Structure 1
Amino acid sequence: MKGLMADRDTMIKVCKLYYLEDLTQSEIAKLVGISRPQVSRLLTKAKNEGIVRIEIDSGSLGNSEEISLEMKERFGLKNVIVADEGTEVGTITSIAISAAKFLPDYVKNGQLVGISWGRTLYETVERVVFNGELPNTTFIPLIGGVGQLRHEYQMNSIVEKIANSFHSNRYYLFTPYDLV
């Protein structure tokens, strides 16, 4: 147990020297008495174990309203929603929250709405809140998806869920995604 704690203490010391004191890996290796590749491995291990978390402030990109306006002007778009960024999971959640807020305002009664598949779309559909009914709207899968690994990401499941949210019709497509 003592060796394990010593390794962790060394890892934390190496991280502080590298990230807070701005020493090079070679300088740290000499100071701590280990090789430069060992320093590199300790830094990687610290990131993997969550001891070190790297955050990037992208505030220099501008706020979402500025980005939205620029994209509308540049590409001639009517509506642009810019989701907050974050980690991969955080970005997916942010996109899903933004899209779920957007959908109820843009899905209209009488439309035929094509639905695709995937984690982001699944997360979006999970968050849709609609307090009305669109009895003449129909949701359909755009491509097949029988045999996809995760049931909740499968198109027919997503179509079912979103049609229920909008109190609408749905059709299913029972074909594989890839016929080859």
Structure 2
Amino acid sequence: MNVNKKTKVKIARYYYHEGFTQTKIAEKLSIPRQTVNKIVKNLVDDGIVRIEIIEGPYFNTELENKLEKKYKLKQVILVDYDDPEEINNLLGKKGANFFESLLNSNTKVGLSWGNTLSSFASNLTKKNYKDVTVVQLVGGSNNLDNSIKADEITRITAEKIGGNSCLLYAPSHVQNKKTKEAFLSEENIENVFNEMNDCDMAVVGIGEMSENATLFKGKYLSKGHYEELLAADCVGDICSRYFDSEGKIVNHPINNTVIGIDIEKLKDIPVVIGIAGGENKHKAISGALKGNFLDILITTTDVAKKLVGEEV
């Protein structure tokens, strides 16, 4: 049945503006319902209806989509901020909400450490999931505030979601490879590493390379190691694994003295969520993305714009 353009426009108006069903439109215009159905399906292709997505000023779905495509990420979630002091809390809240939307019973989750992960843990809703284990992915340090230590973040997260915590009773950095091997030979440490390798999901922070970074302030790095890493184009770390601007692990002895998950083992975890943001983290996040360390990124809009080459 041939239908002229004016009738198609009427059908469009009845269907989209008036909310008529296709059956009602067919009765009103005395044409078969199958014809109405076919016309409705082709209204966009025929140039009669234009679909426009109206998004609020803070949704940023277009920018998220650009970043997902550029770095082949499963998902990007962006956060806007006014005050840089708010960044960690805003990212932690967003990360906690997203994590809870993914979390199911019978799940093993790995966690790193840092200010953003501390906020993530504190913003989780208290719930009880069945058979959930939270695994510490990197050793600890006595030079950090308790709230940002890996073991504390692991413990709090497990408590919040009603899971069991699997703690790594070892320092994150040791003096030499021999000391590291001694720790790794301990049965309880070996068991934790087996749990790491069995994780279904990981939530990690991304550290920057600067004298203001927690890495340096917490004395994870000596002044000498810090300067050597900078000279090797190191831009950041994930789980105390140091990488350069192209996402390659830096060839430095310190990477051989870290007690924590290996970066390739981290990449084997099915879902790795990275949470970090703020202009100072741009280079570190860029390196992490180039290294394909992440599946999902939760970051700030200013960083996302830089990553896709837009002006901030």
Contact 1:116 1:142 in 2 (8 A): yes
Does 1:75 find its partner at 2:71?
A: yes
Highest RCO, 1 vs 2 (Cα 8 Å, sep ≥ 6):
2
Q: Which residue of 2 aligns with 1:21?
A: none
Q: Find 1:155's aligned residue among 150, 166, 179.
A: 150
Contact 1:125 1:158 in 2 (8 A): yes
Q: Find 1:177's aligned residue among 162, 172, 176.
A: 172
Contact 1:96 1:124 in 2 (8 A): yes
Does 1:134 find its partner at 2:123?
A: no
C-alpha spacing 1:148/1:106, structure 2 compared with 1 (3 Å): farther
- 2: CA distance between counterparts of 1:105 and 1:148? 34
Q: Which residue of 1 aligns with 2:88?
A: 92
Q: Residue type of the partner of 1:67?
A: L
For residues 75-124 of structure 1, give each alpha carbon's deviation from its aligned partner in whole angstroms, at most 9, with x where no partner exists.
22222111113433212122112111111011222222111111110011
TM-score, L = length of structure 2? 0.36
- 2: CA distance between counterparts of 1:130 and 1:81? 23
- Give, in angstroms, the shift of residue 143 of structure 1: 0.8
TM-score, L = length of structure 1? 0.60
Q: Residue type of the partner of 1:84?
A: D
Contact 1:125 1:161 in 2 (8 A): yes
SS of corresponding position for 1:140: strand
- 2: CA distance between counterparts of 1:171 and 1:161? 12
Matches within 5 A, 1:1-180: 64-131=60-127, 133-180=128-175
- 2: CA distance between counterparts of 1:161 and 1:63? 30
- Give, in angstroms, the shift of residue 177 of structure 1: 1.3
C-alpha spacing 1:113/1:177, structure 2 compared with 1 (3 Å): same
SS of corresponding position for 2:77: coil
C-alpha spacing 1:116/1:141, structure 2 compared with 1 (3 Å): same
The CA RMSD over aligned residues, in Å, is 2.0
| Larger fraction in helix | 1
Q: Residue type of the partner of 1:178?
A: H
Q: Percent identity?
A: 21
Query: Where does the alignment leave 5 or more consecutive residues of structure 2 unmatched?
Result: 1-57, 176-312
SS of corresponding position for 2:139: coil
- 2: CA distance between counterparts of 1:173 and 1:96? 23
SS of corresponding position for 1:138: strand
Number of positions where the alignment pairs a residue of Structure 1 with one of Structure 2: 119
- Give, in angstroms, the shift of residue 164 of structure 1: 0.9
- 2: CA distance between counterparts of 1:130 and 1:67? 32
- 2: CA distance between counterparts of 1:68 and 1:84? 12
Query: Where does the alignment leave 5 or more consecutive residues of structure 1 unmatched?
Result: 1-61
Q: Residue type of the partner of 1:64?
A: N
- 2: CA distance between counterparts of 1:171 and 1:138? 7
| Larger fraction in strand | 2
SS of corresponding position for 1:178: coil
- Give, in angstroms, the shift of residue 130 of structure 1: 4.6
- 2: CA distance between counterparts of 1:84 and 1:93? 12
C-alpha spacing 1:130/1:81, structure 2 compared with 1 (3 Å): farther
